[in-house]
Amino acid sequence: MPDVLMFLGSGFEDLEAVTIMDVCGWTAYRDHIPDVKITITGFHPEIRGRFGVTIKRDIPFEKVVASDYAAFVLPGGFGSHGYDEVHDPRIYDLMRAIHAQDGMLATMCIGILPVAEAGLLKEKRATTYPHSHHDNAAQLREYGAVTLDEPVVIDSRIISCRGPAQAIDVALLLLEDLLGTEASAEVRHYMIAEGR
């Protein structure tokens, strides 16, 4: 059973976080598809999203062991509500470790910025949220990324997207990496997401 670690920063984008949990949760409804377990971590016992969702972490950040996880997920969030805590060298180290063991990094919105800061996007393609007060694409380029004006980009086991509207696409790409195309397509079918 592949385990996925999701880090939630304060002020996370609610839809992005719960979409990952929901899509991966659908794997439990088909006996022949391995369950994908989502483990939530963060710097606080309870993490409040920007729009009111509060999620209890499953494991304190300091107890996370990178080798226990097949993938790492980082939803975006709002700096005005504490999300800047994701720009922490300990998170960079964790992402580097999971990626180095062939793990997928799935980000949404500005969740890709810490990946760039960790040095994982040099000469790799990525996208990000285009409507911030800051030029997020320029920040990615400062760290060597090749920015694309596309809804979802995947390069070298790193997924990025523009924002919450693409969260289900990111979740299904993550499933495809973990379980294969057939299992991901089956989850998509049972969620009635075909034709996207």
- What is residue 29's predicted lDDT score, i.e. its pLDDT? 85
Distance CA 143, CA 38 (A): 29
Q: Which CATH superfamily is domain 3-190 in?
A: Class I glutamine amidotransferase (GATase) domain (3.40.50.880)
pLDDT reading at 31 higher than 80: yes
Could you tell me where the DSSP H helices lie in the chain? 14-25, 89-100, 112-117, 136-142, 167-179, 181-190
- Give this prediction's pTM: 0.96
Domain range list for the chain: 3-190
For CA atoms 64, 67, 73, 78, the dihedral sign is: positive
Angle, in degrees to the nearest 10, between helices 181-190 and 167-179? 140
pLDDT band at 129 (very low <50, low <70, confident <90, very high): very high
Which two structure tokens, joined as six digits, stand for 22?
Answer: 């929901």
To the nearest whole percent, how much of the chain has pLDDT over 90? 91
Distance CA 150, CA 41 (A): 29
- What is residue 194's predicted lDDT score, i.e. its pLDDT? 61
pLDDT reading at 171 higher than 80: yes
pLDDT reading at 195 higher than 60: no
Distance CA 141, CA 101 (A): 25
Question: pLDDT tens across 71-88, in order?
Answer: 999 999 999 999 999 999
